[in-house]
């Protein structure tokens, strides 16, 4: 049975980790999440983000992520990469890995404005979560956004079984909602898509 790689795309605070955690809770025997921040927390010192990322540590994290995904997809599971995934240099190797194992690729884009991302980022920090500096978000916007909106990230190639599937989760007004209500809205927005991806996965 072919596996399925789900790639999220979005700025900090756009709902990527909540989306992945919900899928893992809903389908615990089917979903494997390989998120770089989770792996950094497991493999690197607690002050790693404060000290700044270094190439050797990032290579270690990437290797661990690819090993996890390779095993999951080879077993016909659904691998979820709930990172920002806004640069093609990060995205293309993941897609290549999936296709080398005969897995399909599903792109889940969380499209929020820069202002909304920064607001949610601050709310997350206020609740004890990680704070991403504003200049880092601005840098992500530079290569992941066009005309103020999220780019399309489907990686196209030729040959049978190489098509990408995509879903766009449009911006919701998080400033008017509690964080719990926002998660519920995101979950209900993706459930129809994910049920469809399960069907795609089961029929492969």
DSSP calls for 108-148: EEE---HHHHHHHHHHHHHTT-PPPPHHHHHHHHHHHEETT
Q: Which residue has the higher pLDDT, 52 or 112?
A: 112
Query: Residue 20 is part of which domain span?
Result: 4-203
Instruction: Look at residue 186 and tell me whether its pLDDT is greater than 70.
Output: no
Q: Please state the domain count of the chain.
A: 1
Instruction: Look up the CATH number of the domain holding residue 195.
Output: 3.40.50.300
Tell me the mean pLDDT in the region 112-139: 91
Q: Which residue has the higher pLDDT, 83 or 182?
A: 83
Instruction: Identify which of 29-38, 150-159, 189-198 has the greatest average pLDDT.
Output: 29-38
Instruction: Look at residue 201 and tell me whether its pLDDT is greater than 60.
Output: no
Q: Which residue has the higher pLDDT, 166 or 32?
A: 32
The least confident of 46-50, 134-138, 139-143, 191-195 is: 191-195
pLDDT tier, 83 (very low <50, low <70, confident <90, very high otherwise) = very high
Please indicate, yes or no, whether the overall pTM of this predicted structure exceeds 0.85: no
Q: Quick check: 124 and 182 in contact, CB under 8 A?
A: no
Res 144: pLDDT? 87
Q: Which residue has the higher pLDDT, 148 or 24?
A: 24
SS3 78: strand
Res 72: pLDDT? 95
* Chain mean pLDDT for the chain: 80
With a pLDDT cut of 90, the percent of the chain lying above it is 34
The least confident of 35-49, 101-115, 155-169 is: 155-169
Query: Which of 170-183 are b and which e, b meaning 16 or more Cβ less than 10 Å from the residue's Cβ?
Result: eebebeeeebeebb
Res 150: pLDDT? 84
Res 135: pLDDT? 93
Instruction: Look at residue 74 and tell me whether its pLDDT is greater than 90.
Output: yes
- 122 vs 13: CA distance, rounded Å: 9
pLDDT tier, 158 (very low <50, low <70, confident <90, very high otherwise) = very low
Contacts of 134 (CB under 8 A, 6+ apart): 118
């Amino acid at each position: 049975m072919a596996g399925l790689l789900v790639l999220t795309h979005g700025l900090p605070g756009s709902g990527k980790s909540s989306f992945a955690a919900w899928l893992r809770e809903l389908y615990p025997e089917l979903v494997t999440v390989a998120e770089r921040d989770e792996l950094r927390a497991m493999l690197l010192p607690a002050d790693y983000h404060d000290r700044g990322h270094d190439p050797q540590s990032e290579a270690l994290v990437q290797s661990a992520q690819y090993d996890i995904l390779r095993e999951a997809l080879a077993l016909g599971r659904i691998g979820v990469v709930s990172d920002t995934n806004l640069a093609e240099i990060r995205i293309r190797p993941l897609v290549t890995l999936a296709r080398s194992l005969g897995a399909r690729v599903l792109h889940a884009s969380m499209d929020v404005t820069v202002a909304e991302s920064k607001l949610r980022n601050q709310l997350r920090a206020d609740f004890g979560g990680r704070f991403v500096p504003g200049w880092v978000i601005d840098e992500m916007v530079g290569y992941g956004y066009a005309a103020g909106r999220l780019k399309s990230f489907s990686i196209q190639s030729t040959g049978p079984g190489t098509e990408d599937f995509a879903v766009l989760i449009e911006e919701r007004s998080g400033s008017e909602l509690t964080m719990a209500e926002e998660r519920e809205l995101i979950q209900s927005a993706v459930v129809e898509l994910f049920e469809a991806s399960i069907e795609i996965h089961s029929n492969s």
